Amino acid sequence: MVTTRPSALGAPLRTPQGHPQDRPQGTGRGRPGDSASGAGNRAAPSSAGTAAPVARDRMYALDALRFAAAVGVVLYHFTARWHRGWGEAPGEVFPVLGHVSTYFALAPELFFVVSGFVILWTAWGRSVPAVAASRLARIYPAYWAALALTSGLLLFLWSDGKQISWGEVAVNATLLQEVVGVRHVDGVYWTLWVELRFYLLIVLLVAIGLTRNRVLAFAGLWPVVALAVAWADVPVLETLLISRYAPLFAGGMLLYLLYRDGHARLPWVLLVGNVVLAVNNIVPAQMQSLGKNTVFEPNPWLLGVLTVGCFVAVGALALTRLRTISWAPLAALGALTYPLYLVHEFWGWWVIARLSPTLPPWVVLGVAVTLVVALATALHHAIEKPSSPRVRRWLERRLTAWAERVSRRQVPGTPPTTPAGREPSRIPAQSSALRASSSWTAEPTPPGR
């Protein structure tokens, strides 16, 4: 039974049974594809019977959370995770901060919960071409720019940082390097491959048609099947189903349903189940990873609490009054999250390696953080902000045109388009008997969507 709803953000109308009515909703402000915003998307259902989307608004609190998580990743990589920049283990240089920042290694898990929430938000009520274009335009332009920056650093300025080849750079440009067994130019790229697979699953859901019941079924069954596949050791399916991280994405999706439709028993039960699976998947993996990559011995109980905290943080910002926070600087910080994540690692380590022999560690850390934030700001304003919307519009036009061509081939009797690309509104019947009467015309078959 629905007890509350996000009325401040335009939740859909409810029937007496408590379910959203399949009625188109208005759209809010913002831009499509924004990581903490589902704004600006047309409310066109992807199939008959698709539930109507909630009126969309930017969630500034999620912008702040994402930026804080990105800063956490930066601190983890600079002060806890092993690298040669300090001349000794970072944890020896920063014994207190490094111990704390070790737990910031869970920031990617938080990103995945946020993605489950936001990607479903931005996909609801949109076509497959629109969703695919939005996601590809969001991820690739900034990624290519960051890849160029990091590759240039390692190839020309700091070959001691990591030995890479031009071939590896070329393969990395596709973001499919894990598929063909090529190393990441920068280790942080592993999360993008995870995100790409989630985008593919969302596109498939959109193609089938997003409804509340389908999302509930998907978010409940996907992580369980993914876990079973991992236990059965079926590598291909394990890769496709993102076995380790499926509960994080699914939990984010369920939080979005709670935000969109209000509280109900089933999504909460499924959410708790996904939290349990996430703890089961993440804690052992992080214990092993942090034991290898830091000088610290992490506490498994604290890792478990923080894994639960990833869901709690997103839920608190989406399901309480915190969702109504509206402060423009938070959006500006949120916009830096992705480029900061992409460029920080090797550029920061390079600064540390250059300055640590002569300056105090805290000064070096401050300079390194300042440089990577400046690089992220430049990348966002020079590349991501101007190019991503253009790429999205171009891709959406091309994908929509391709989808329409495929649909016409699949629907018998679909007429050809006019030279201007418009379908004739009426086509004269070919039968001479029909032509004898001007009132008899044959209606064209509408193109499939």
Rounded CA separation 114/37 (Å): 11
pLDDT, one tens digit per residue, over 376-394 is 999 999 999 999 999 999 9
Res 30: pLDDT = 34
* Residue 43 domain-assigned (yes or no): no
Instruction: Give the model's confidence band at 410: pLDDT under 50 very low, under 70 low, under 90 confident, else very high.
Output: low
Would you say residue 47 has pLDDT above 80?
no
Query: What range defines the domain where residue 118 resides?
Result: 59-407
| Segment (H or E) for 52 | none
Res 425: pLDDT = 37
The rounded mean pLDDT for the chain is 84
Residue in this structure with the two tokens 């969302």, named with its chain if needed: 202
Res 414: pLDDT = 52
Written as six digits, the tokens of 184 are 């990441």
Rounded CA separation 323/314 (Å): 10
Work out how many domains the chain is built from and give that number.
Answer: 1
pLDDT, one tens digit per residue, over 1-28 is 333 333 333 333 333 333 333 333 333 3
* Residue 261 domain-assigned (yes or no): yes
Res 34: pLDDT = 42
pLDDT, one tens digit per residue, over 173-231 is 999 999 999 999 999 999 999 999 999 999 999 999 999 999 999 999 999 999 999 99
* 3-class secondary structure, 37: strand
Share of the chain residues as helix, strand and coil, in percent rounded to the nearest 5: 65, 0, 35
Residue type, 396: E
Res 405: pLDDT = 87
Res 390: pLDDT = 95
Res 28: pLDDT = 35
Which of these, 105, 52, 37, lies nearest to 75 by C-alpha position? 105
* Residue 222 domain-assigned (yes or no): yes
Rounded CA separation 359/354 (Å): 10
Q: pTM of the entire structure?
A: 0.81
Res 17: pLDDT = 35
Rounded CA separation 295/293 (Å): 7
* Residue 108 domain-assigned (yes or no): yes
Res 331: pLDDT = 95
* 3-class secondary structure, 58: strand
Rounded CA separation 256/315 (Å): 9
* Residue 24 domain-assigned (yes or no): no
Rounded CA separation 326/152 (Å): 39
Task: Check: CB of residue 53 under 8 Å from CB of residue 41.
Answer: yes
Share of residues in the chain with pLDDT > 90 (%): 76
The CA radius of gyration of the chain, in Å to the nearest whole number, is 25
Would you say residue 31 has pLDDT above 80?
no
* Residue 84 domain-assigned (yes or no): yes
Residue type, 380: H
* Residue 177 domain-assigned (yes or no): yes
Res 415: pLDDT = 53
Rounded CA separation 287/301 (Å): 10
Q: Give the mean model confidence (pLDDT) for residues 400-421.
A: 66
Would you say residue 62 has pLDDT above 70?
yes
* CA torsion, ordered 44, 45, 47, 49, to nearest 10 deg: -140
Q: Give the mean model confidence (pLDDT) for residues 339-359.
A: 98
Task: Check: CB of residue 146 under 8 Å from CB of residue 343.
Answer: yes
Rounded CA separation 142/153 (Å): 17
Res 413: pLDDT = 55
pLDDT, one tens digit per residue, over 153-166 is 999 999 999 999 99
* Residue 30 domain-assigned (yes or no): no
User: What DSSP string runs through 21-35?
Assistant: PS------SS-TT-T
